[in-house]
A = this chain, B = another copy of it.
Amino acid sequence: MEFSFSSSASKIVHSTAFTSLESGDALMIGVACLLVYLAIWKKFEPLLLLPMGFGCLLANVPMSMMASTDTGGLLNFFYQGIKHEVLPPIIFMGVGALTDFGPLLANPTTLLLGAAAQIGVYMTLIGAVFLGFNMQEASAIGIIGGADGPTSIFLASKLAPHLLAPIAVAAYSYMSLVPLIQPPIMRLLTTEKERKVKMEQLKPISQTVKIIFPVAVTIVCCLMLPGVTPLLGMFMLGNMFRESGVTARLHETAETHLINIVTIFLALAVGSSMTAESFLRLETLKIIALGLLAFAFATAGGVIFGRIMCKLSGGRVNPLIGSAGVSAVPMAARVSQKVGAEEDSSNFLLMHAMGPNVAGVIGSAVAAGVFLSLFGDASTSMDTHAALAPIIGNPEPGMQAVATVVEAIKQ
């Protein structure tokens, strides 16, 4: 090799990213900066959107080898943790370690509010099919209405990996917008009298019940919808660490440094999948629109079902807690509290809204499980993968190539 000054200079010039920077890359760098801005100055789920935006920035520097499709690159390595569904369940374990099911156990019928809020998922599914997405894609888009980040990522990586980036961005952005999106809908769909309903104090719950509950949920839900076991099972394991009282060390690690480490890797990986190719499409706009629809309908579904429960209970349930059924813990519950307190400052809905709030987490996990039962079987996912390989790249060629080769030789 020759290294004269001029040949080297020319080599350096040609290796700068400027020479291959296309308008799409530049636009995506702008999108990345926007996400970082929203995270820091607008406090939009900063723990996720800051590293996600930064990952997007790195991925869109041409030749940086930081896109999720750059085999051998750093962020592709983290991306494997999403692709193989390792990172979202670990996050969910941490969320479980942070979750108190007490309010839900004290008032179990609020689980129905968590179910009702899933109506947003299905309205969006129908809307997505109407806009031309296929059923798997539509399911992955619909789950945005569940307002649950890890669940959205988990399902998207299984059913529609090529849409992972816009789905994740939409999910986390709208989760941050819960305090803006929900209140007008809540006020629109309730009467002043209903908003002033005061709820009875929650019964205290035996610690034993709190310990048995996660095991019971795991057995009941996972047997019915086995596809959701990685997510729901790990969620409940984290909660066991919390409630059992004998695993304080593991509890502390799961809810602090382990979830933090995994959050960094997950968010970077999601950001790295936000390339111009995968993000700057008409589909992204559709998904962003559908996501807003999803949140609005989820809120409406919860509130309307809250009104029904209000009626049936003879006015002992404040329908404002219904909107908390969307997940987005604890933001949605705080919104219920705030809207309630605006009407009557002596009205304390926060703890009552925590019930539907954590029910919403279970609800969207169950919704994901239903989709996995319907669309997640092996053959479909294989087909999906093969179909998408040209788009999303094929980061796991080893195994499959071996299989192919072995087949070829056998013949």
CB contact under 8 A between A402 and B397, given known A46-B246, A84-B72, A246-B43: yes
Number of identical monomers bound together in the oligomeric complex: 3
Contact B244 A264 (CB under 8 A): no
CB contact under 8 A between A229 and B65, given known A223-B18, A244-B50: yes
CB-contacts of A213-232 with B (<8 A): 215, 218-219, 222-227, 229-230
A118 to chain B minimum Cβ distance, whole angstroms, is: 15
A residues contacting the other copy or chain, number (CB 8 A) = 90
A222 to chain B minimum Cβ distance, whole angstroms, is: 5
The 8 Å CB contact of A374, one of B8, B227, B403, is: B8
Interface string of A232-257 (1 = CB under 8 A from B): 01101100110011110110111011
- CA A406 to CA B263, docked complex, whole Å: 37
> Which residues of B are found within 8 Å of A226, using beta-carbon distances?
15-17, 61-65
- CA A12 to CA B261, docked complex, whole Å: 36
Is A312 at the interface (CB under 8 A from chain B)? no
Is A188 at the interface (CB under 8 A from chain B)? no
Q: Which residue of B lies closest to A370 (CB)?
A: B12
Q: Which residue of B lies closest to A259 (CB)?
A: B249
Segment among A33-41, A333-341, A386-394 that sits at the interface with chain B: A33-41
Q: Which residue of B lies closest to A93 (CB)?
A: B264
Contact B16 A223 (CB under 8 A): yes
Contact B89 A247 (CB under 8 A): no
- CA A63 to CA B244, docked complex, whole Å: 28
Q: Which residue of B lies closest to A78 (CB)?
A: B86
- CA A260 to CA B12, docked complex, whole Å: 36
CB contact under 8 A between A50 and B224, given known A58-B229, A406-B401: no
- CA A227 to CA B61, docked complex, whole Å: 10
> Which residues of B are found within 8 Å of A65, using beta-carbon distances?
226, 229-230
A38 to chain B minimum Cβ distance, whole angstroms, is: 11
Interface string of A63-107 (1 = CB under 8 A from B): 111100000111001000000111001000100000000000000
- CA A373 to CA B242, docked complex, whole Å: 43
> Which residues of B are found within 8 Å of A223, using beta-carbon distances?
16-18, 21, 61
CB contact under 8 A between A244 and B47, given known A16-B224, A29-B219: no
CB-contacts of A28-57 with B (<8 A): 29, 33, 36, 39-40, 43, 46-47, 50-51, 54, 57
Is A135 at the interface (CB under 8 A from chain B)? yes
Contact A16 B74 (CB under 8 A): no
- CA A11 to CA B373, docked complex, whole Å: 7
Contact B247 A257 (CB under 8 A): no
- CA A210 to CA B274, docked complex, whole Å: 26
Contact A74 B66 (CB under 8 A): no
Is A282 at the interface (CB under 8 A from chain B)? no
Nearest 5 Cβ contacts at the A-B interface: A64-B229, A253-B260, A46-B246, A15-B373, A63-B226
Extra inter-chain contacts (8) besides given A16-B223, A47-B246, A47-B250, CB under 8 Å: A15-B225, A17-B223, A18-B224, A61-B229, A74-B85, A74-B89, A253-B256, A254-B264
Some 10 contacts from A to B, beta carbons below 8 A apart, are: A36-B215, A40-B246, A47-B246, A57-B219, A61-B219, A61-B222, A62-B226, A65-B230, A249-B256, A250-B260
